[in-house]
Chains A and B, each alone.
Chain A
C-alpha cells in the first residue's frame, strides 16, 4: 500500500448513505439493495488503485454498483417479491392520504420502469449527477442518456398522473 487509504476509506464511508439510496431505487428491494452496496464496496476496496485521479468517487462507486447489479445481484435477486400481483397494474397514481402514499406510488412507478430508464432517472434525478457523469457511469453517449431520461420521465408522469406530485 503505497499511500494511506485513510481519506479514501473515509470518503467511501461517507458516501454509504447515498450508495444505499441509489441501490434502493435501482433494486427496489431493501435486502437486495444492501447486498448490492455490500458487493460494490467489497469490489471497490479490492480495486482502490483503479480509481483515477480527478474523477468523482461517487460516480466510480455508482458504476461498480451498476455492474454488480447487472452481473450478479439481479440474477439472484428477490425483486419478484416486491410487487404483489394486484399492485402491478398500469396506474399507480397516488391517493390524497399523505406523503407516505406518494412515496410508495413513486417507488412503484420506478419499479415499473425498464431498468435502463430507471437507472438513468435514479442517477440524474435522485442522485443529481450531471449528464456527463451519468453517461460515463452507464457507458453510453449523452444522447442515449437523455433519450432514456426522457422516456423514463414520460412513463413516470403517465403512471403518476399529471397532478400535483408534491405532498
Chain B
C-alpha cells in the first residue's frame, strides 16, 4: 500500500466504490494493466469490501424481532380512520430463488434483489401484511375469504408480494376490462422483463403505485412508490388509476422491460397461460 501515492490511494478507493468519474475509468483500467502496485491496491480494497459485506450479510437473514413488525402496524383507533391497516400473518411456506441480475439496478432500493436463502425463515417468522380497506362491496368478486382485502405482504426478508385484491387484479385484469371504476386497485401496463417474466404496473388506493412481476410464488413487487413520489410534478394532484404514470415509474419500466408493452391480445394470451414466462 505504501507503494502508491496519496492521490492514487484516493483513486483506488473511488474506483472500488464505483465513485470514479465515468470519464476516468478507462484510463484507470489501462493503468491497472500496467502497474502491479495499483492493481494490488485495488485487489486489497475489493477484498476488504467483500469481506465486510459477507461479515454482516447473515444479519439480513435473521428473523425480524416481532416488536419491530408491530411498530409498523397502525394502532387500532387510527386504523378506523385511515384506509390502511396492517396485520401479522403466518409466513409463506416456501420461496423460490429469484432470478437476479437483470433487475438489480432498478431494484437497488429494495433489498430483495439480494440472495434468496434464509435458513431461519420458517413458520415461526411472522410476516407483515399491509392491507387496504377497499370496500368489500366494490370488490366483492375479488374479496378473499374473511372479508379483509389485503394488498401487500412483506416477508421477514423484505420481499413484498401482492395479496388479496391486488393479486387478483394482477392475475385477472386485462386491458379494456375495468372490473369496477371505483376500485382503488388498478392494473396498467404489462411487459416482459429481462428474465422473460411478465410484469405489470399497478396502482393502490390512488396514492401508491408500483410494478409487480409474476414469479413461481406469486406477484413479487419490484418497484413501489408512495403518494408523494407518485404525485405528478406538473399537475400537482394525486395520481389516480387513470392518470399518466409517474416519471420514476416510467424509468423503472424502461430499465426492466425487454421489448414492448403488451397489447390487449398479448395480455389476454399471457393471462390464458397463467402469466408463465
Which residues of A pack against B, CB within 8 Å? 1, 3-18, 20-21, 24-25, 34, 37-38, 41-42, 45, 51, 53-54, 56-58, 99, 102-103, 106-107, 110, 121, 124-126, 130-131, 146, 149-150, 153-154, 156-157, 160, 162, 164-167
Q: By CB atoms of chain A within 10 A, which of B47, B52, B60, B221 has the most?
A: B52
User: CB of B204 within 8 A of chain A?
Assistant: yes
Q: Evaluate contact between B52 and A121: CB separation under 8 angstroms.
A: yes
Q: How far is the CB of A89 from chain B (nearest CB, A)?
A: 19
**Measured between alpha carbons, how far is A35 from B56 in the docked complex, in Å?**
18
Residues of chain B from 12 to 48 with CB closer than 8 A to chain A in the complex: 13-14, 17-19, 44-45, 47-48
User: CB of B276 within 8 A of chain A?
Assistant: no
Q: Evaluate contact between A7 and B208: CB separation under 8 angstroms.
A: yes
**Measured between alpha carbons, how far is A53 from B53 in the docked complex, in Å?**
29
Q: Evaluate contact between B72 and A162: CB separation under 8 angstroms.
A: no
Q: Evaluate contact between A45 and B54: CB separation under 8 angstroms.
A: no
Contact (A14, B112) CB under 8 Å given A9-B72, A20-B64, A45-B72: yes
Q: How far is the CB of B43 from chain A (nearest CB, A)?
A: 9
Which of B56, B67, B158, B224 touches A7 (beta carbons < 8 Å)? B224
Contact (A12, B45) CB under 8 Å given A4-B84, A7-B225, A150-B10: no
Stretch binding the partner chain, chosen from B91-99, B149-157, B186-194, B255-263: B149-157
List chain A residues, Cβ under 8 A from B174. none
User: CB of B265 within 8 A of chain A?
Assistant: no
Q: Evaluate contact between A21 and B130: CB separation under 8 angstroms.
A: no
Contact (A7, B226) CB under 8 Å given A18-B60, A57-B109, A102-B51: yes
Q: Evaluate contact between A126 and B52: CB separation under 8 angstroms.
A: yes
List chain B residues, Cβ under 8 A from A154. 1
Chain B interface residue count, Cβ-Cβ cutoff 8 angstroms: 69
Q: Evaluate contact between B47 and A11: CB separation under 8 angstroms.
A: no
User: CB of B207 within 8 A of chain A?
Assistant: yes
**Measured between alpha carbons, how far is A166 from B86 in the docked complex, in Å?**
42
Which of B14, B49, B81, B152 touches A10 (beta carbons < 8 Å)? B152
Which of B84, B209, B210 touches A5 (beta carbons < 8 Å)? B84
Q: Evaluate contact between B48 and A157: CB separation under 8 angstroms.
A: yes
Q: Evaluate contact between B71 and A14: CB separation under 8 angstroms.
A: no
Q: Evaluate contact between B1 and A16: CB separation under 8 angstroms.
A: no
**Measured between alpha carbons, how far is A45 from B208 in the docked complex, in Å?**
17
Q: Evaluate contact between A6 and B71: CB separation under 8 angstroms.
A: no
Q: What residue of chain B has the Cβ atom nearest to residue A147's Cβ?
A: B10
Which of B18, B50, B64 touches A165 (beta carbons < 8 Å)? B50
Q: Evaluate contact between B208 and A6: CB separation under 8 angstroms.
A: yes
Q: How far is the CB of B249 from chain A (nearest CB, A)?
A: 12
Which of A7, A18, A146 touches B13 (beta carbons < 8 Å)? A146
Given A4-B84, A153-B45, A166-B47, 12 other A-B residues pairs in contact with their CB atoms under 8 A: A3-B227, A6-B84, A6-B207, A7-B226, A13-B130, A16-B64, A21-B56, A41-B68, A41-B71, A53-B228, A146-B13, A166-B51
Q: What residue of chain A has the Cβ atom nearest to residue B59's Cβ?
A: A21
**Measured between alpha carbons, how far is A154 from B10 in the docked complex, in Å?**
12
List chain B residues, Cβ under 8 A from A17. 59-62, 64, 111, 156-158
**Measured between alpha carbons, how far is A140 from B238 in the docked complex, in Å?**
35
List chain B residues, Cβ under 8 A from A18. 60, 111, 158
**Measured between alpha carbons, how far is A99 from B50 in the docked complex, in Å?**
12
**Measured between alpha carbons, how far is A124 from B14 in the docked complex, in Å?**
11
Q: Evaluate contact between A6 and B132: CB separation under 8 angstroms.
A: yes
Q: How far is the CB of A16 from chain B (nearest CB, A)?
A: 5
Q: What residue of chain B has the Cβ atom nearest to residue A132's Cβ?
A: B19
**Measured between alpha carbons, how far is A146 from B7 in the docked complex, in Å?**
12
User: CB of B183 within 8 A of chain A?
Assistant: no
**Measured between alpha carbons, how far is A126 from B52 in the docked complex, in Å?**
6
**Measured between alpha carbons, how far is A131 from B156 in the docked complex, in Å?**
29
The 4 closest A-B pairs by CB, nearest first: A7-B226, A3-B227, A7-B208, A106-B55
